[in-house]
Chain A
Amino acid sequence: MTFTDRVTGLVRRGRAPRERKAPDTGWREFVTPEGVDLKLRIASYAERCGAFLLDFLILVAGLLALTLVAAIGGGVTRSRLGAEVAFIVWTIGAFALRNFYFMWFELRPGAATPGKRRMGLRVAARDGGRLTADAVLARNAMRELEVFLPLSFLFARGQGIDAILIGLGAIWSGVFILFPLFNRDRLRLGDLAAGTMVVKAPKRVLRPDLSETGAMPGLTFTPAQLDAYGVKELHVLEEVLRKHDRRTVAEVARRIRTKVGWDGPADVSDGAFLAAYYAGLRGRLERRLLFGHRRKDKFDKA
């Protein structure tokens, strides 16, 4: 290989069209020690902002309540000692609220503050191991930088060169707020410094199986009619049935009737028809699944 070859090779490699990355869906592989992938989803920026706002409101409310209690308590006793005790309670209480509110809740088995729980989020160690106290400590100590520093710039006032400095400081600290937008796992600085991430872990209830509740004895479909759709369409149908919006149900039922060339009894209600079709389709697809074939969608031949 001559020198020019190598150079052109380098240039070409540099110019090679970059592979387009598939858009990130936020799903992450998360394999338990038992070898099962739990498929976690990374919490979105909006969800995390919402959770933080909720927590912030709770904190402010707590601070107000604390102030009221201290003021009333200090006022009622009408003595120096009473006022002093009230002051101590207030200072220590405010300090504890600001620093230990997040830590306390994230160290509990739920690993989520009330705001996070409301949004169905929780904190997890990025390596899949246990969430240790030092990690929780680290991720929350960083809040100083991410929340209170920008806040202090927000409330700072200055003239001339001071104003410029404050403006620059606000921009600089703004970087920390927007940090989660610029990385794959939506980590904030605290997550980075602690090796944690925030994932979706909503509580779900076990809902009734539609194939049991929906089946009607009179309605049967031929195999050809059931082969019109695959797993993807089955899941869409499931969603339609569970939401049970009347207009959607009617529309979907109409389309399926046309597609499969429905010639059975016409007096069946749309809901009953869809439920029966769902039960039939699922039975057919699951039976084929047991024989090792998963029909992805309606375009999947075979």
Chain B
Amino acid sequence: MAEIQLKSNRFREERETDWRRLEVLLGRAERQGIAALRKDEILELPVLYQQALSSLSVARSISLDQALVDYLESLCTRAYFFVYGTRTRIGERVAGFFLREWPMAAQALWRETLVALSIGVIGTVVAFLLVRSDPDWFYGFVQAELANGRDPTATTAFLRETLYPKVSVHEGLSAMSAFLFTHNSQVALFAFALGFALCLPTAALLLYNGCMLGAFLALFASRKLGIEAGGWLMIHGVTELFAITLAGAAGLSLGWSVAFPGERTRVDAAAHAGRRAAMLMAGVVVMLFCAGLLEGFARQLIRADWARYSVAATTGVLWCAYFYWPRRRRT
């Protein structure tokens, strides 16, 4: 048999160098990224990819060498993912995110945002009223380690002290920012992921968050420190609570689309909502970073109530304008 060379053998001999070339380029691109390829190599890749694909079709129909077909399948798959994979540069990606994707995602979820906001507000109001009527409710809403001594038994002087802490500039401010940022982001991501379980856990988390807020406010209000506590809270709270509300909205949209997929299939609806909500979540992490900075630095350094309130108002206006300013929809 050997004297007459097989067709599949000749087929392989003629094309092998091209396959190997493609393999080398792919290997380099996969290991070091697209930047590792020269311009002519980038242009060469799609051509080699198409050659390999047609080789695969031919090999499937004329060659019975299983190893060869397997090799070509794996090579074509790798090349396919590279040729049709993500190609945008990181700079463009980031710019697109801040200019369009993030605010668009926030706009698209305005209904969920309103729902999340009202859940939080209901929690706050209920807890506020309960604690005002009977201070013992406070312990039901706030854990001892979080209260840190700020409970109904504390003196008014002590409470006032916590609102205007004496800190020198260097002392632990940036460390505190870092800690607050990472902690809050983790909680927000968690709230989002929980939404998958049909919205309920996210709603519960939002409600509980509101309750804690209401309980604290009620405690300070009972000592005639309500205005001061508001300033202490709102200087970063506008950003932070907004971020938490958005995270809740992202979670709710995900859970809702799983529970009520509408015209799509459940799987498609989940994927669609998940991707949109993920964009919003990336933005939430950015917001929480700002909130961490405000909480760690601004709150400790700015001590006048009016200044705290004006910072809070400014951040509120800025965020709302950024998200909800009408934009042209690009298709």
Contact = CB atoms under 8 A, between A and B. Distances in A.
Q: Does chain A bind chain B? A: yes
Interface string A76-99: 000011001001100110110011
Contact of B270 (A39, A109, A149, A192): A192
Considering the complex of A and B, which 4 residue pairs feature the smallest CB-CB distances, nearest first?
A195-B271, A193-B274, A215-B2, A138-B278
Interface residues of B, number: 80
B174 A289 contact: no
Question: What DSSP secondary structure best describes chain A's contact surface?
Answer: helix
A99 to B, nearest CB: 7
A24 interface: no
B182 A131 contact: no
A290 interface: yes
Interface string A165-178: 00000000000000
Interface of B: 1-4, 6-9, 12, 16, 19-20, 23, 29-30, 33-34, 50, 53-54, 56-57, 61-68, 70-71, 73-78, 80-82, 84-87, 93, 101, 170-172, 174-175, 178-179, 181-182, 185-186, 189-190, 192-194, 196-197, 254, 267-268, 270-279, 281-282
Nearest to B97: A133
Interface string A184-216: 000001001111000001111111011110011
Contacts, number: 213
Contacts of B73: 38-39
Contact of A95 (B63, B186, B192): B186
Interface in A260-291: 276, 279-280, 282-283, 285-286, 289-290
Contacts of A131: 81, 85-86
Contacts of B174: 84, 88
B7 A290 contact: yes
Given A204-B75, A286-B7, A193 B196 contact: yes
B6 A195 contact: no
B65 A238 contact: yes
A124 B4 CA distance: 43
B275 A135 contact: yes
A40 interface: yes
B194 A211 contact: no
B77 A285 contact: no
Q: Counting chain B CB atoms within 10 Å of each CB, which of A32, A149, A202, A280 scores highest? A: A32
A211 B81 contact: no
B7 A279 contact: no
19 contacts: A32-B76, A38-B77, A38-B80, A80-B171, A111-B85, A130-B85, A130-B86, A131-B86, A134-B101, A139-B274, A149-B194, A201-B78, A204-B70, A211-B8, A216-B2, A220-B1, A221-B1, A280-B1, A282-B8
Interface in A124-181: 124, 126, 129-135, 137-139, 141-145, 148-149
B65 A211 contact: yes
Contacts of B270: 192-193, 195
A132 to B, nearest CB: 7
B175 A211 contact: no
